[in-house]
Each structure stands twice: as C-alpha cells, then as structure tokens.
Structure 1
Amino acid sequence: MSIATKVLDLLTGDEPNQPRLTWYGPDDERVELSGRVLANWVTKATNLLVEEGEVGPGTRVLLDVPVHWRALVWAMATWCAGGELVLPPRRSSRGTATTTTTPTSRNPWTTRSPSTRTRRARSSSRTPTPRSPTSR
C-alpha cells in the first residue's frame, strides 16, 4: 500500500463528508472538497493514468500544470499508480504531462524514446467530472 493510498484512507476515514481540502483561486474562487470527493477524483485520475497512460511502478510522470487543487489530484494519482512524480525544473505554463518507462537520458525533461508518451494535460475546465453511476 502506497503512502498516497494510506492518505486517502485517512481522508475518507471517520467523517468522509467533512471538508478535507479548501482551495482559494483567482477571482475569489473557493473550492471545498470532502474526503470522499477528493478520493473519487484521485481514483478516476489513477485509472486514467493506468489505462490510458500505461503508468505503473517505475514510470516517471512529469507534472507540468499550474498551481491548482487538481495538481494535487494528479500527484496523488501518480503515486497511487506506483509512478514517480517529476516536477519541471522551473515554472512553466505549457500544461504537458509526460510518462516514460525507458528513459534514454539522465535528464527526465529531455527524454525522448519510442516508449515516451506526451499528452496535453487537461485544463482545469476540461478535467473529467465525476459522474453518478446512473449517468452513463
């Protein structure tokens, strides 16, 4: 069990509906997430990384997204999938996520190989929204 999984268990423990994360954004935006909702976001992001990004133990995932509560979701999802989170060397606004299982260089930001996948990270307005089981 990873540390991220243990943290999710703690967040959804005794009172899963209580606020666990409060984020204040630009223009007085305020987002408050309960442990249950945060765990749901992380679970969905983990499944996306594993199924679409083929992230697994030993996979390096470059997280190059703006400061936002969803950045925490992607970081925790990477750890839950067994991946290694890599941050960019400097602030960048490109919004890309790169995963690789066979780095060809010691520098993870310049790694290019046939097994490297680079995808545009979803912007904050395009991140998958959790749906109820009945909305298929």
Structure 2
Amino acid sequence: MAQQWSARLAELGLSLPPIAKPVAAYVPAVRSGDIVYTSGQLPLVDGTLTHTGKVGAEVSPEDAKQAARTAALNALAAIDGLVGLDNIASIVKVVGFVASAEGFTGQPGVINGASEFLGEVFGTVGAHARSAVGVAELPLGAPVEVELIVEVR
C-alpha cells in the first residue's frame, strides 16, 4: 500500500511547487524499472532563484542550507510529475552540489538542508546514501543543486 507522502507534506505546511522548467536539453526525472532519477534541481521559487552566488562569500551557509531544502522540494515535484509522490518506497541517494567560495569546506552541512528535509517528510524511508560536492559554479549562479534517486512502487 502506498504511503500518503503528500498528506505528510501538508502536515508540514508545504505543497509541491510546479515542476521547474529545464534550462537545457533534459527532462526533470526519468524512471528505469523501480528507480527514478531526478535531474539536478535548483532552489527555484516561482521560477526565480532564492539566492545567487557562492557559499562562503555572497551566500551564508545557513541560507544555502535552506536553498538545499528548496531544491529537494523541487526534486520531489519532478518525481510527483512522473510517478506520483505517494509511490515513493525509499529515498536511495541524494547528490548535492555546492558552489563554494575558495576555502569553504562546509558542503556536508549545506546539503543537510536536503537530507534533514527528506527525513522530516519520509521518516526512516528517507534515510539515504549521499554525496556533497563543492564546485566552482552552478547553472544560473545558483548556490546549490540537488538530485535524488528514489525507489518507487
């Protein structure tokens, strides 16, 4: 029986945003068997980045952590658009990219924004493997980008 993850989002006072329009030649999410892979999602709200710049310079780690949460919510919207949020069986892996100022080494703490959010929504089903990678630049000047790999029913 499918979980009611959409109801859990509502309990948290959240709703799924519209699926972010791709900024290049790709689709928001692809299913292969019981696995869904999302494309990297940016912290867009109503088509606008919540923050721009590098973490540790123009963007604080705290703001970047919130941006990672927003990006993860956008990834859930991409999954919902493909297979329905309530069909998620487990969060398998989170990959997070952090546009990092020189010397910034707090990428894991930033991507905790996505990981902790997924734990709030999915509980133990949200426990996942993860990578948090510092990069020089991200599309549109975004401070973070998050992609998810999930198992679905």
**TM-score normalised by structure 1 residue count:** 0.33
CA radius of gyration, larger in: 1
More helix by share: 2
More strand by share: 2
